[in-house]
Chains A and B, each alone.
Chain A
Amino acid sequence: MTLMMSLLAGLLAAGAVVLMLRRTLLDVVFGVAILSQAVNLVMLVSSGWAEESRPPVLVEEGLATAAGTVSQVDPALYQDPLPQALILTAIVIGFALLGFLTVLAARAFETSGSHEVGELETEDAP
């Protein structure tokens, strides 16, 4: 699993870089979208995988029971919650930035009338 997912992350990163280096606005938008997917995978896959581990949602252990007692949580049973928390915000931030990028691309197109990122420079000059 780890190997396959590492390869998947690498593959996505490679595709993302190729797309971002292309000349049309749409390709760049696609590239940024894919790159954030790849980075999220890197974080998650780094935390390791085991078939039998549980999602980090406590069921009975570590919670106060009706009697008020608390049993100790065995961390080895659970998947690491930290990368998940980091990725969760990363996904939302990635979306927000992608949103900004799409609007920027649309604005660039409206201004220059071109799909090509290379032609934006002509609009730079005052």
Chain B
Amino acid sequence: MLATILLLPFIGALAIYFWPGGNARVYKNIGLAASGLALALLLPLTLAFDANAPVSFTLAWMPDIGLDFSIWLDGVSLFWAWLVLGIGFLVVWYAGHYMAPDDGPRRFYGALMLFMGAMLGVVLSRNLLMMFVFWEMTSVTSFLLIGHWRHKKEAGAGAKRALLLTGMGGLALMAGIALVAIILKDAGLAASLTWDAVTDARAEILGHSLAVPALVLMLMGAFTKSAQFPFHFWLPGAMEAPTPVSAYLHAATMVKAGIYLMGRLYPIFGDLDIWLLLLGGAGVITMLMGGWLALFCHDIKQLLAYSTVSQLGLITAYYGFGFRGVGEEGVVLTLDLMLVASHAFFKAGLFMLCGVVDHGAHTRDWRKLGGLFRKMPYTGALTIAGCLSMAGAPLTLGFVAKKLFLEAGVRQGAVSGTLGVVLMWAAIFATVFTMAYCLRLVILVFFGKPRDPEVVSHAHEGGPGILFGPAVLVGLSVLGGLYVPAVAAPIASWTNPLFYGLDPYYTFAFFTKLDFLFWVSMVVYFVAGPLFFWLPERLGAVDALQKRVAAFITFFDKSMNDWIPAFAGWQRGIIHSHSLGRNSFVVYGFAFGVVAWFLPFGDLRAAAFEWQGAGTLVGALLLVGGAASLAVLLFSRKTIFRVLALGAIGLGVAVVFLLYKAPDLVMTQLLVELVVLVLVLLMLRTIGLSDHKPLRGALRFGAPAAGALAGVVVASLTFLAASSPDQAMPGPAKDQTIASFYLQNSGYPAEAGGHGGQGSNVVNVVLVDFRALDTLGEVVVVAIAALGVASLLRWRRHPTREQILAALPDPAQVASIGDFQLPRQSPLVLRCLAPVVAALALLFSFVLFYVGHNAPGGGFIGGLLTAVALLPFGLASDRVQYDSRFFRHTYSIIPVGIVFAVGTGLAAVALGAEFLRSGYAKIPVPLLGEWGLSSALAFDVGVYLVVVGSVLTILKAFSRS
């Protein structure tokens, strides 16, 4: 049920995007249906709500690191879900009347539903990481909505500003969540990053040294989202959005996400000393500034935008005043959501009314309006009612909020010393602006003489449809104050028990707590407020202030436009320059540097060197040989010597495999080395010889340094791993390891009840049975590489033949590699013997493939040998045979092999076992007795085919050049 509610807005968005031939009406109805249905589903959950046992829904994803898809409906989420969906419904309704039908409706309603879903996800997420995902989603969708009117330059700039600031905040939030996860881990608690788990771990979190950084980072996220100083300035720019979006964004979503987060953080971090300073300080400054700037606005929508800034500051400061660090005397907030509800109602309503004025009078500038009440009586009356609530007139919900706020401020001022007192007086002073700008909004627009009679005389009232939403919202915000328990009782009973450990009751009364300071503040408010009404004109500084704000915004935009690309360019210059050498240097240096950082070099002393007699001597010989070959490879000027040195190293590694008792590896290595040698020679035939080019610049020193680092790291890592305590008995496999399981179960017959691998070559059984899924993946990698080669060849056909020929090196030069002359024509001996050798090799490859399950061999080795067996044809006849029908289509063997391998796995599924589970059967064969056949053999056929096809495809790549 809960998951359905969360999904509904997203389903609505999908329906809108994919509805064939829809129009604005259809989209609006889809939006109404989705949000209405979600509300209808929410109702039974609300009626059956039990604060001590919230409904939740969890899908485990990565529980080990605390990452689950986990949503719940505790009291706080319940409140917010109503707010988001309820106002969302009204906003969609309003948009249906406000937006022009041809105004990109699919984009608009689609993004609006996504926005609704994202915000719903934020408030329903139980898991912090999941909340973060939805959090970022609100940033992205609000970007789309603010910039909806693409023809307006300012809309694009405002959208970008909003995205940049809230995006940065989002990153900080993520870092903060990560710190919380670290704290929980340090405290030895389970990795579960849910709100309830984190709230329960309050004591551990507050006791940890990372508590303050975690709080500050998460508050950065909340402050950017909620437009708190100094991140406030994106919000007025966001009013370039279509008005329904503004109403939604300012009232119930986006900016409220930050408030929601503060509300969640309050029970956890409310005891930290820095809490009051951070939230109280930022909140009060924001209140003052937003209120002050709102006074100077000409555009009433901008006035409302700044009033939102100011009101958000008020809610933030209210949370700050909830600071409990002083012990028992501290203030405990019980009705914080009252402030949220009150602001959401009147602000959404007022924004919508502002849109009605815009529609009716075609301007929002009060310098052209005035006396509009006669023309638009309903709009005017509703605006007055909304402003009364915003200003906090008695008997409105706004009054309740204001009283709660002032009480909290006064009580905090009384208990927490100078800081509390300063903040309290600043807050009381800041509320004065609210009264002033409310008066300005109402009086300048609706009363007095029309300043531009032309505009006002043409103004007309909005219809009942467009006024429905604002009427409901303003009505709620006024009536809610008449009977406070109707709003306060559910909020208190939903949120108190779980989060604040309080009884589900609330205390609120109009005339209790006759605190002296409180009455002082009320007097200041109602007397000084009207005085400020005239202030902007008195100061005569309206235009100057507007210009200063605009200059700052321009400066910010320009800085971002300049700095971000500059930073990106600088970064790209380091990690992705145009030089492959420099890129590689960064990649390898970083990779080996990270390993070096974590490598316990100190343990090297403890890892004893053990003299192993002949073994050590042979090892030393191999080391010397490897060093010599490497020296040739690095420093020789003769390419043929370097190719031979490459082969020598490969052979040396094969000897190491032999010493480590790995017969399968020896065979694979020898075959691969052979093919690599041919491959490199073929490549040289194409690209010819090249001069040695010394490195330039810093890489001259960087390359040897990176090499030395890699060498030290790899050698130490290997030695440490080989002689770690876990390897107390070096060499043979141990008990209780994966290896011992494989060894003990590999040959065990299935009919005896064990994991029947039915093979004595454990390596092969591991490949085709125990870890067959791995092998399947690896075979696919090989196939992809080969298909990549095939596609490169296909690409080659595009340039003209002349271009290719012109680009090719001189044939006389190509034919010789160092002192070694490639024959112009294949030797007679090779041409005559090739079929014989190939036939024998093919036969042997089949044998190796077949015995692979019980003796060294198998699909990989058999496939390699088959490809090698066919190699002489290519070498002997140069180009004739490779172009024959068989060789032309080598790459089509590859999918056949993959189908074979996957088919084996699916056959097991069809028979009711797991994917790739092997089976075993004894088939009676006449004369020979019983023939044991494992289904793993069929899988190995797939491996074999892919290897043959891939190797031939790769070799063939050079046949035509």
Query: Which A residues lie at the B interface, using CB under 8 A?
Result: 1-26, 28-30, 33-34, 37-38, 40-42, 44-51, 53-59, 61-64, 70, 72-73, 75-82, 84-85, 87-89, 91-100, 102-107, 109-111, 113, 115-118, 120-121, 124
Contacts and interface: CB of A to CB of B under 8 A. Distances in A.
A75 B734 contact: yes
Nearest to B684: A26
Interface in B641-692: 642, 646, 649-650, 653, 656-657, 659-665, 668-669, 672, 675-676, 679-680, 682-684, 686-687, 690-692
Residue among A72, A85, A92, A102 facing the most chain B CB atoms (10 A cut-off): A92
A17 B712 CA distance: 12
Contacts of A116: 690, 693
A41 B655 CA distance: 11
B310 interface: no
B588 A62 contact: no
A47 B679 CA distance: 31
Residue among A23, A49, A103 facing the most chain B CB atoms (10 A cut-off): A103
Contacts of B706: 17-18, 21
Contact of A79 (B609, B710, B732, B854): B732
Given A57-B855, A97-B785, A10 B668 contact: no
B11 interface: no
Residue among B627, B649, B792, B950 facing the most chain A CB atoms (10 A cut-off): B649
Contacts of A14: 707-708, 710-711, 714
A49 B767 contact: no
Contacts of A64: 747, 749, 752
B692 A7 contact: no
A6 B717 CA distance: 8
B731 A18 contact: no
Nearest to A116: B693
Contacts of B793: 103
A49 B623 contact: no
B775 A37 contact: no
A115 B616 CA distance: 42
Interface string B769-808: 0010011001001100110110011011000000010011
A107 B789 CA distance: 10
Contact of A102 (B619, B626, B680, B947): B680
Given A13-B710, A56-B733, 11 more contacts: A3-B619, A6-B715, A11-B630, A13-B713, A13-B714, A17-B706, A19-B633, A21-B707, A79-B661, A92-B668, A93-B781
A106 to B, nearest CB: 4
Contacts, number: 382
B932 to A, nearest CB: 10
Contacts of B816: none
A104 B957 CA distance: 10
Residue among A7, A23, A62, A85 facing the most chain B CB atoms (10 A cut-off): A85
B794 to A, nearest CB: 11
Contact of B656 (A11, A41, A76, A97): A41
Interface stretch (B67-75, B344-352, B437-445, B577-585): B577-585
Interface of B: 578-581, 584-585, 588, 592, 609-610, 612-616, 618-620, 622-623, 626-627, 630, 633-634, 639, 642, 646, 649-650, 653, 656-657, 659-665, 668-669, 672, 675-676, 679-680, 682-684, 686-687, 690-693, 695, 699, 702-704, 706-708, 710-719, 721-723, 727, 729-735, 737-740, 742-744, 746-749, 752, 760-763, 766-767, 771, 774-775, 778, 781-782, 785-786, 788-789, 792-793, 795-796, 804, 807-808, 854-856, 860, 864, 947, 950-951, 954-955, 957-958, 961
16 contacts: A2-B610, A3-B619, A4-B619, A8-B626, A10-B711, A11-B627, A37-B649, A45-B660, A51-B612, A56-B761, A62-B744, A79-B660, A84-B664, A92-B668, A102-B680, A118-B581
Nearest to A37: B653
A79 B699 contact: no
A82 B672 CA distance: 20
A25 to B, nearest CB: 7
B715 A50 contact: no
A98 B951 CA distance: 11
B732 A1 contact: no
Given A22-B581, A92-B864, A110-B804, A5 B619 contact: yes
A96 B786 contact: yes
A48 B715 contact: no
Contacts of A42: 714, 717-718, 721
Given A91-B672, A99-B786, A9 B714 contact: yes
Nearest to B771: A85
Contact of A48 (B614, B702, B727): B727
Contacts of A78: 732-733, 739, 743, 762
B48 to A, nearest CB: 54
A75 B744 contact: yes
Contacts of A49: 612, 615, 659-660, 722, 730-731
A22 B695 contact: yes
Given A11-B630, A44-B657, A82 B732 contact: no
B722 A45 contact: yes
Contact of B954 (A33, A80, A99): A99
B860 A88 contact: yes
A58 B616 contact: no
A95 B661 CA distance: 22
Given A105-B687, A106-B958, A79 B796 contact: no
B622 to A, nearest CB: 6
B622 A98 contact: no
Residue among B585, B639, B686, B947 facing the most chain A CB atoms (10 A cut-off): B686
A85 to B, nearest CB: 4
B761 to A, nearest CB: 5
B731 A17 contact: no
B662 A44 contact: yes
B581 A117 contact: yes
A24 B695 CA distance: 10
A106 B763 contact: no
A97 B784 CA distance: 9
B703 A59 contact: no
B796 A25 contact: no
A88 B749 contact: no
Contact of B622 (A8, A29, A117): A8
Residue among B676, B687, B721 facing the most chain A CB atoms (10 A cut-off): B687
Contacts of A85: 763, 766-767, 771
A121 B287 CA distance: 55
A123 to B, nearest CB: 11
B679 A98 contact: yes
A53 B623 CA distance: 22
Contacts of B585: 21
Contacts of A93: 778, 781-782, 785
B615 A1 contact: yes
B690 A115 contact: yes
B718 A21 contact: no
Contact of B739 (A15, A23, A75): A75
Nearest to A112: B807
A47 B727 CA distance: 8
B695 A92 contact: no
B730 A2 contact: yes
Contacts of B954: 96, 99-100, 102-103
A33 B646 contact: yes
A96 B707 CA distance: 25
Contacts of B656: 5, 8, 41, 44
A91 B747 contact: no
Given A85-B767, A89-B778, A21 B729 contact: no
A81 B950 CA distance: 26
Contacts of A3: 609, 616, 619, 719
Contacts of A7: 623, 715
